[in-house]
Amino acid sequence: MLILGIDPGTAIMGYGLIEKKGQTLRAVDYSCWRTPADLPMPYRLKILFENLENFLLKYSPDAIAVEELFFNRNTTTAISVGQARGIVLLSAARNNIEVFEYTPLQVKQAVVGYGKADKHQIQYMVRALLSLTENPKPDDTADALAIAICHAHSQRL
């Protein structure tokens, strides 16, 4: 089973594709897509959409796992993350791929075993669980892999 984890954002959208065979997890492809800050939002969203569409055509994942929108204090960030999530949901629907959503707490518990884990703990466990030689960077990429791992450990497969 191929699971694509997405950490949505308009400046940086992290992605991590993992393969689950039995109890074994393996990283297939992971990185992030970046958009120029000086570009108007519609064009940033277009870049993200095109990158995601090309990725889905290349790999045809079985499922997409995405982080639920977490609203803290910054409404501007929440809105842009919501727009990036919209792109993921639209692209998944266009390609008939089921989407699964997880809260940051669920991801941290699934990967680290502790809901208040910090970025370093998440990176360490992602590296260990996927047998990577180094921590995935940037944080958005590690988070995307963590979201994919969360889904791989979920009962919703």
150 token code pair: 């969360």
Q: Among 19, 67, 139, 143, which one carries the catalytic annotation?
A: 67
DSSP 62-88: SEEEEEPP---S-HHHHHHHHHHHHHH
Task: Return the sign of the alpha-carbon dihedral for residues 26, 81, 40, 119.
Answer: negative
* 143 noted as active-site residue: no
Tokens of 6: 């997405």
For the question of residue 50 being annotated catalytic, the response is: no
Question: Rounded to 5 degrees, what are φ and ψ at 7?
Answer: -105, 100
- Structure-token pair, residue 60: 């045809």
Catalytic residue of the set 19, 139, 140, 143 = 140
Closest CA relative to residue 146, chosen from 99, 111, 109: 111
7 in catalytic set: yes
Active-site residue list = 7, 67, 140
